[in-house]
Amino acid sequence: MKLSIQSNVLRDAINKVLSVVDKKNSRPILTNCLIRSQGQKLELIATDLEVSAKIILNAKIEKEGSFCINSKNISDILRELPNEELLLNVDTNNLLNLNCKSINYSLLVTSADEFPQLNFQNQSSEFRLKTKQISHIINKTQHAISTDETRLYLNGIYLQLTDSKLRSVAIDGHRLALLDTHEFIGENKFLVDGVIIPRKGINELKKIADTYPEDDVSISLDDSFMFVNARNEYYLSIRLIAREYPKYQTVIPSKTTNRFHIDRNAILNAVKRIKILSNEKTNGIKLNVAPGLLTISTQHPALGQANETLPIAYEGKATEIGFNAKYLIESLSVLNESDVTFEFNNELSPVVIKADDLPDFLGIIMLLKL
């Protein structure tokens, strides 16, 4: 194989697929990136067999071919090279000769035959989403993904087609984030039952959305995988979590009897200040809700106590509710800078958080007993 390409173009592409590479070295070949040339196109492919990424670049191809190379090694080299034309030539001794101006490397490569065969498309069940919608879904729900590896079914975002809306849900047992997306193109039978996209796949989807902020992408599904195609040049294959998602609807209160309105920035900043003196293990804080007034407080046996009062729009009975401050901060941080509404029934029931300017979003936090 022999070709030339700008070093910064190859560097950017390698960096995009590098996060997919298997870092646990379960199979040595999975620490490699497959580089393949066809026509005047150069393909870069990386996988850990759960998430795979492929990027197609324009290059000046003199001789077609393919090889595998250690992903981190080639990334480290490219990072230090100037932004100049880069010549790649694989000789008969399985050496990649890499030349950039007066800089020369000879790198050991592996046969492309050892790299897994991967599929990046299933056109029979295709729909489209704008990258802005993908970013919006991830930004509003990602914080509620569980990190508990023993409950694999909670380690991702659940997508389901419901009432002609694409519903996105994340839940970790302590909080829930739900967002409905109304405008997307196409139908998909797998979305009717719902699919769970794992955290690593979510991170790679976010990368595509950030790369093409004004585009839309093609998404298709089968029983096991989600396939994503952006501009026919950036592809993902994501293995779905093969578990049944919990009945999240049971967590959402059918009705609430109490509610108060407050400026999002005011309560967010107050909670951040009061959290400083909360217990390191529970991050516990109290919210005393009274007509017209909210008092946020906490007490630490070794450090002291803190409280802050804020004006609120509330006319119900005085109630004291406990929160994990970390969960409350994360839930409020994903909302826009506008008024938010807290809805609850009593001191033990979940609290529903809604944003006035995000009618399709719903957040729920389980209360903390203090």
Q: Taken in order 266, 344, 294, 261, is the CA torsion positive or negative?
A: positive
Distance between alpha carbon 107 and the CA centroid of its chain, in Å? Answer: 34
First to last CA, the chain: 67
Total of domains in the chain: 3
Which residues, 6 or more positions from 62, have their beta carbon under 8 angstroms from its beta carbon? Answer: 2, 3, 4
Q: What is the pLDDT of residue 223?
A: 87
Instruction: Give whole-number Cα distances, 219 to 119, 130, 227, 229, 357, in Å.
Output: 14, 10, 6, 7, 28
Is 129 in the same domain as 242?
A: yes
Domain containing 13 — which CATH number?
A: 3.10.150.10
| Alpha helices in 158-303, H assignment, sequence order | 189-193, 199-211, 264-275
Q: 86, 114, 142: which is the final residue of a domain? A: 114
Residue 75 belongs to some domain of the structure? yes
pTM here is 0.92
Residues 285 and 341 in one domain: yes
Check whether residue 91 and residue 175 sit in a common domain. Answer: no
Element containing residue 255 per DSSP (H, E): none
Last residue of a domain, one of 199, 225, 249: 249
- Same domain as 26, residue 7: yes
Whether 214 and 233 map to the same domain: the answer is yes
Judge whether 119 lies within some domain: no
Cα–Cα nearest to 12, from 234, 251, 177: 234
Same domain, 243 and 260: no
Angle (nearest 5°) at CA 49 between 48 and 53: 70
Map tokens 């108060």 to a residue: 260
Which uninterrupted H or E stretch holds 148? none
> Does residue 310 sit in the same domain as residue 242?
no
Residues 226 and 304 in one domain: no
Distance CA 23, CA 360 (A): 38
- Residue 27 confidence (pLDDT): 87
Tokens of 333: 């941080």
Mean pLDDT, consecutive 10-residue segments, the chain of 370 residues? 95 95 83 94 96 96 95 95 96 91 95 94 81 96 94 94 91 95 74 92 96 92 93 96 92 93 96 95 95 96 95 93 96 92 93 92 89
Determine the distance from the C-alpha atom of residue 149 to the mean position of all C-alpha atoms in its chain, rounded to a whole number. 17
Q: What is the pLDDT of residue 126?
A: 82
User: Based on the domain organization, do 266 and 240 belong to the same domain?
Assistant: no
Q: Is residue 194 a part of any domain in this protein?
A: yes
Q: Is 235 exposed, middle or buried (0-12, 13-18, 19+ CB in 10 A)?
A: buried
Report yes or no on 370 lying in a domain: no
d(CA 286, CA 278): 10
**Structural contact between residues 262 and 342, judged by C-beta atoms closer than 8 angstroms:** yes
Q: Are residues 240 and 260 in the same domain?
A: no
With vertex at residue 295, the alpha carbon angle to CA 284 and CA 322, rounded to the nearest 5 degrees, is 30
Looking at the structure, tell me whether residues 141 and 231 fall in a common domain. Answer: yes
DSSP symbols for 41-71: EEEEEEE-SSEEEEEEEE-EEEE-EEEEEEH
The answer to whether residue 107 sits within a structural domain is yes
Q: Which of 235, 253, 271, 284 is nearest to 354 (CA)?
A: 253
Return d(Cα 199, Cα 48) in angstroms, integer: 14
**Residue 5 burial (C-beta neighbours within 10 Å; 0-12, 13-18, 19+):** buried
Residue 289's domain comprises 252-365
Does a structural domain hold residue 30?
Answer: yes
In a domain, 120, yes or no: no
Sort strands 165-171 and 216-221 into parallel, antiparallel or unpaired: unpaired
Q: Kindly give the residue spans of alpha helices, DSSP state H, lying in the chain.
A: 7-18, 71-80, 131-141, 189-193, 199-211, 264-275, 325-333
- Would the CA dihedral through 357, 363, 364, 367 be positive or negative? negative
* Rounded distance between C-alpha atoms, residue 95 and residue 1, angstroms: 11
Q: What is the token pair recorded at 160?
A: 């389901």
Answer whether 283's CB lies under 8 Å from 324's CB. yes
Do 228 and 292 fall into the same domain?
Answer: no
Last residue of a domain, one of 93, 114, 135: 114
